[in-house]
Structure 1
Amino acid sequence: MTQIEGEESRLTGGKRIVFLGDSITDEGTFIAYLDAYFGQQTPDIPLTFINLGVSSETASGLTEADHPFPRPCIHDRLARALQESKPDWVVVGYGMNDGIYSPFAIERFQAYQNGILTAIRMIHQSGAKAIVMTPPPFDPESMNANVLLPDGQKDYSYKEPYAGYNDVVKYYANWLLTLDSTADEVVNIYDPLLQHREQEREMNPGYRSVDGIHPNSDGHWVMAKTLLSRLFHITLEQKPDFVELPDKSQLFQLILQRQQLLGSAWKEHVGHTNPSKKDALPLELALKRGEEITKQIRMIAAKSQFNQT
């Protein structure tokens, strides 16, 4: 794996990095990729990645009538999340749900703006850096055309979204990109994911990125690669083996196991209003088991580095 590091690499010490977001963060493959990269390349630097994403969540506090339960809002749990996790950095990823899959409305947009700006302020008050990540693009071509609705309908939802919803998501993403003097970093994943999708469709017009809302594993790698570049000044020239063949990477499978174990425990420890609860160990026990997995990860990483010398 070839890498190019910037002159001001940020790998100078350990950090606790918390990820807050909706189902895209909750699914967490991009976080596991980041964890695997550093677990393989810099196993002695204590970087801790804590996934606190919750499915269906918003920053705006809004929900659509057809949603099976009121959407959770990050502000129902943000204070406790910050207090309990004690992060150095917080990566905030919202927007896909916040437009409620409807045509643009100024009231919804202002609720989103208020939610994001309040989150940044609270993160700074906790002493952490606030990193804002744009939403990914909405992909109507990956959805059944029969569920897409035109402008002027009474109700929209994730089940029956506005056909032009990507314009709304893009508007939200563009606004986030203006926050470079408010947040510590703004990471644009919208454009890299859109470019990736267009390149795939040039080769295969029938390409589908899962369900139009959630990126597939390739999309999660685009997200991870973008975060590596923006936050750590690391550029990779090719996919790591654990991305190409995740099932054959013992290190990645252990990191995925640790991410799932600790992510579930952290989410339930902090609490959230999504009625679907994770099967989770008490946090203290999960952290002990996580340490056992970490020892295995470090042994594999050390052996791999020895074989490369």
Structure 2
Amino acid sequence: MDKMQEFHRSPLLEDVSRIVFLGDSLTDGSLYPDYVVNTLKQLYPETDFELINAGVCGDTAADLLVRLQADVIKQGPELVIVGIGTNDCSLSRKTEEFEKDLIEIIESIRDCASKLLLLRPSPRTDKEYASLFPKYLQVIDTVAARFDIPTADVHGDFERQIKNGKKLLFEDGVHHEAAAFEVMARSVLAALGHPEVELNMEIKPEPGMLLEWESSDPITWNGKDPLPSPKLAKNWKPYKRKALFNLPASGFPRKGAWMPFALKAPEKASISFGRAHFKAAEEGKMELQIGASHPLVIWLNGQEVWRSQRRHGYHPKAERMDVEVLKGENEIIALSNYMVFASLKAIGRINNVDGYSIGRHPLKMPPHQKAEMDLRDRVNAEVLAKTAQAPCGGHLSGSFIYAHPGGYRGRNTLNYEIPEWRSLFKELKELGMDSAIMGVAAWHDYNECFYPSEIFKNLRTRNVIEPMLAAAADEHMQIYLGGLVHSESSLGADTGDLGMAKACAEQELACYRELVQRYRGAFHGYYLASETGFWSWGNPEFLKRCYHSFFQRVSNGVKEITPELQIIGSPYTVRCPGREAEALDTLTAVHAGCPFTALAPQDSIGTTMNELDFLSRGLEIWKTVCGNIGAEFWVNCEAFNCMDYSGPFSVIVPAEFKRFAIQLDTAHKLGAKKLITWESIHFMNPAGSGAAKSLRSDYLKNRK
């Protein structure tokens, strides 16, 4: 066995693949994160480690808080390495303020169930601040001890190396020379459980990086006047990349940066244009990734696509955006006073998280969705303000569970064996639940099947359902099995093509027959996973016709195969004030002739489709639909809150308990026979984030 593979994974690295390095210029301009992740890839070749550099030059702890949501939480990391304090000292911030900000950073990251490592920053030798710095180190030590967070002693390691004559700090007494990157990496790896390991310090540009640049003549710019237009660029000349060796920015050329003034700045303050070309196989969207000094403007094919409004990271993925490219030759022009990274990547539909696949969202939330989210938050806040205390009507008796969620980072049960599943079901029983709904048996979009299948051999197989069913029998839990997930477009709802709906129904029934053949007697019912609602988009007639055809074929087919088992669905609720009668007629028509045992409409309070003010009216529509088709009326009360739908995947957090209690109470008063919720195993996880623990605890207290 290779020496690099003999190590046992330390607790800090368990279930870790995505690592965010959060900090200031000592992170932003450093190669130490690359050394760390490259080395981890050698230690654990089975793990697809991903490095996210979230350093920004000049940042304080207060600055980290401002961008924490976008740069850290939204990325869904399993581990966050935080190095901060140097600039807090430079600005002589009160240590009380630094401590307050650091604690808030820690609590916010922990609420998202990420692990943490704090760095004790490298020493300062600048006379003005060297004597002040120990106070900030003491804050870091105190906070780490209070929250039981491990630390990497970068400070101590630097002092020992400097004492032995090694030159690590640049002439300003703060920033790092190239040799310091290795020392930082070793400090961090030691804290991660690998003190004696050979570093992998190979650095090369990422795929898609634009490497062939031209530079214009410098243009004098005083930093106050408007930034010049590309029309002023003159005398384009090929840019020759040069090594910078011991300068703090020495890693930039190795990664592929365009740096027109790196070695010798012009006598007057100047700015320059850089130009690069690339070819695209097809017209359409690509992902543009940039990192650069501020100010920065990017033009693509003559159109401005980015203008910096603040300091941002120098690293290659500091900013990401979806842009339109032309088939064939494309031109990028960048305006900067120091350096620019730019790369173009094809937009994939899938992201890899925790070893599984989830859907990729657009990098920018559509304006209408942002407006809906703002409306939801405003209305919900008004209702909550008028509610003195949480009501206590309505209790959960079931929850959706998944091998993994499809659009966000949740609880991963892909590798659970019977003991882990039994423990999970005991968690549900503590909440008063007697049933669980396995939302999906196979997922074509993500190339995954969760049971040993003959008909889905082309999909990656994970044996999730068998140990889950065995554990459910041991714990006397009723299980509903979901089949496949079909989107509106795959059902033909974009075009009204009933042939597509029929084909999807046949595929769904083939999956169900196989599940019955393998597991009949081990599960209580079937969940029809494809969701519908009262649409405010698309062609209503196409949607109604195709969904009705699909639902009717599948539900009647399931009833014929297993007449003894229940059939449930969980459609969504959409706010539709003034259109309630139209919604009732449409939803009744979609579900007519379908032998559903029960419909458990999502109340959609956690998404952007509904809010508390319309909750009762929305559920009343579904109650009437259930009566019209002869189905029981259940309600799926969402125990989460979507915070951000922009890429790479959704940020979804546990709900505030008072809001959740209002949802439960409303459904209870409307006579719902059963209350269920989405993935309580994640949003009410007793070992999860602080918000999840709080929601679980408050719910249990209220239930008594």
Instruction: Name the aligned partner's letter for residue 215 of structure 1.
Output: H
- Is the counterpart of residue 17 in structure 1 residue 19 in structure 2? yes
> Does structure 2 conserve the Cα–Cα contact (< 8 Å) formed by 1:180 and 1:186?
no
- Is the counterpart of residue 282 in structure 1 residue 242 in structure 2? no
Q: How many residue pairs get matched?
A: 236
Alignment of 1:140-289 (within 5 A): 140=126, 163-178=127-142, 179-200=144-165, 207=167, 209-210=169-170, 211-231=172-192, 233-236=193-196, 240=199, 242-243=200-201, 249=202, 252-254=203-205, 264=291, 273-274=310-311, 282-283=320-321, 288=345
Q: For each residue in 1:122-155, what CA deviation from the matched residue of structure 2 results, as whole angstroms up to 9, or x when unmatched?
A: 1111221232212210023xxxxxxxxxxxxxxx
Instruction: Name the aligned partner's letter for residue 204 of structure 2.
Output: Q
User: 2:114 is matched with which residue?
Assistant: 128
How far is the alpha carbon of 1:213 from its aligned partner?
A: 0.6
Cα distance in 2 for residues equivalent to 1:122 and 1:193? 30
Instruction: Name the aligned partner's letter for residue 136 of structure 2.
Output: Y
How far is the alpha carbon of 1:81 from its aligned partner?
A: 2.4
Summarize the Cα distance change of 1:16–1:263 in structure 2 as closer, same or farther, 3 Å threshold.
farther
> Does structure 2 conserve the Cα–Cα contact (< 8 Å) formed by 1:13 and 1:46?
no
> Does structure 1 conserve the Cα–Cα contact (< 8 Å) formed by 2:122 and 2:154?
yes
The correspondence for 1:96, drawn from 62, 82, 86, is 86
The correspondence for 2:35, drawn from 14, 33, 36, is 33
How far is the alpha carbon of 1:16 from its aligned partner?
A: 1.3
Instruction: Name the aligned partner's letter for residue 152 of structure 2.
Output: V
Instruction: Name the aligned partner's letter for residue 199 of structure 1.
Output: N
Choose 1 or 2 for highest CA Rg.
Answer: 2
User: 2:546 is matched with which residue?
Assistant: none
Cα distance in 2 for residues equivalent to 1:118 and 1:34? 26
Deviates more, 1:11-20 or 1:89-98: 11-20
Q: For each residue in 1:19-71, what CA deviation from the matched residue of structure 2 results, as whole angstroms up to 9, or x when unmatched?
A: 111001101310010122123343331221100100000014xxxxxxxxxxx
How far is the alpha carbon of 1:223 from its aligned partner?
A: 1.1
Summarize the Cα distance change of 1:124–1:36 in structure 2 as closer, same or farther, 3 Å threshold.
same
Cα distance in 1 for residues equivalent to 2:256 and 2:45? 16
User: 2:69 is matched with which residue?
Assistant: 79
* Higher strand proportion (structure 1 or 2): 2
Q: For each residue in 1:92-121, what CA deviation from the matched residue of structure 2 results, as whole angstroms up to 9, or x when unmatched?
A: 11111101265xxxx611111111011011
Cα distance in 1 for residues equivalent to 2:94 and 2:57? 19
Query: What SS does the corresponding residue of 2:18 show, helix, strand or coil?
Result: strand
> Does structure 2 conserve the Cα–Cα contact (< 8 Å) formed by 1:18 and 1:52?
yes
- Is the counterpart of residue 58 in structure 1 residue 54 in structure 2? no
Q: Aligned Cα RMSD in Å?
A: 3.8
Summarize the Cα distance change of 1:226–1:3 in structure 2 as closer, same or farther, 3 Å threshold.
farther
Cα distance in 2 for residues equivalent to 1:282 and 1:23? 20
> Does structure 2 conserve the Cα–Cα contact (< 8 Å) formed by 1:139 and 1:166?
yes
> Does structure 2 conserve the Cα–Cα contact (< 8 Å) formed by 1:59 and 1:95?
yes
> Does structure 1 conserve the Cα–Cα contact (< 8 Å) formed by 2:4 and 2:42?
no
* Higher helix proportion (structure 1 or 2): 1
Summarize the Cα distance change of 1:126–1:137 in structure 2 as closer, same or farther, 3 Å threshold.
same
Cα distance in 1 for residues equivalent to 2:53 and 2:157? 22
User: 1:153 is matched with which residue?
Assistant: none
Deviates more, 1:164-173 or 1:113-122: 164-173
Cα distance in 1 for residues equivalent to 2:154 and 2:139? 14
Q: For each residue in 1:156-204, what CA deviation from the matched residue of structure 2 results, as whole angstroms up to 9, or x when unmatched?
A: xxxxxxx252232222113212223415322221111111111126xxx
Q: Which ranges in structure 2 are unaligned for 5 or more consecutive residues?
A: 207-250, 258-287, 297-305, 324-342, 349-704
The correspondence for 1:44, drawn from 29, 43, 46, is 46
Cα distance in 1 for residues equivalent to 2:186 and 2:27? 15
Q: TM-score, normalised by structure 1?
A: 0.63
> Does structure 2 conserve the Cα–Cα contact (< 8 Å) formed by 1:22 and 1:54?
yes
Q: Which has the higher contact order (CA 8 A, sep 6+)?
A: 1
- Is the counterpart of residue 108 in structure 1 residue 94 in structure 2? yes
Summarize the Cα distance change of 1:36–1:6 in structure 2 as closer, same or farther, 3 Å threshold.
closer
Summarize the Cα distance change of 1:3–1:212 in structure 2 as closer, same or farther, 3 Å threshold.
farther
> Does structure 2 conserve the Cα–Cα contact (< 8 Å) formed by 1:13 and 1:45?
no
Instruction: Name the aligned partner's letter for residue 264 of structure 1.
Output: G
Cα distance in 1 for residues equivalent to 2:53 and 2:147? 23
> Does structure 2 conserve the Cα–Cα contact (< 8 Å) formed by 1:4 and 1:235?
no
> Does structure 2 conserve the Cα–Cα contact (< 8 Å) formed by 1:3 and 1:234?
no
Q: Which ranges in structure 1 are unaligned for 5 or more consecutive residues?
A: 61-72, 141-162, 202-206, 244-248, 292-309
> Does structure 2 conserve the Cα–Cα contact (< 8 Å) formed by 1:52 and 1:263?
no
> Does structure 2 conserve the Cα–Cα contact (< 8 Å) formed by 1:3 and 1:236?
no
> Does structure 2 conserve the Cα–Cα contact (< 8 Å) formed by 1:135 and 1:169?
no
Summarize the Cα distance change of 1:235–1:188 in structure 2 as closer, same or farther, 3 Å threshold.
closer
Cα distance in 2 for residues equivalent to 1:188 and 1:132? 9
Deviates more, 1:127-136 or 1:187-196: 127-136
Cα distance in 2 for residues equivalent to 1:125 and 1:284? 29
Summarize the Cα distance change of 1:33–1:18 in structure 2 as closer, same or farther, 3 Å threshold.
same
Q: For each residue in 1:185-229, what CA deviation from the matched residue of structure 2 results, as whole angstroms up to 9, or x when unmatched?
A: 22221111111111126xxxxx46213111222211111111111
Cα distance in 2 for residues equivalent to 1:183 and 1:263? 36
Cα distance in 2 for residues equivalent to 1:185 and 1:259? 34
Summarize the Cα distance change of 1:290–1:51 in structure 2 as closer, same or farther, 3 Å threshold.
farther
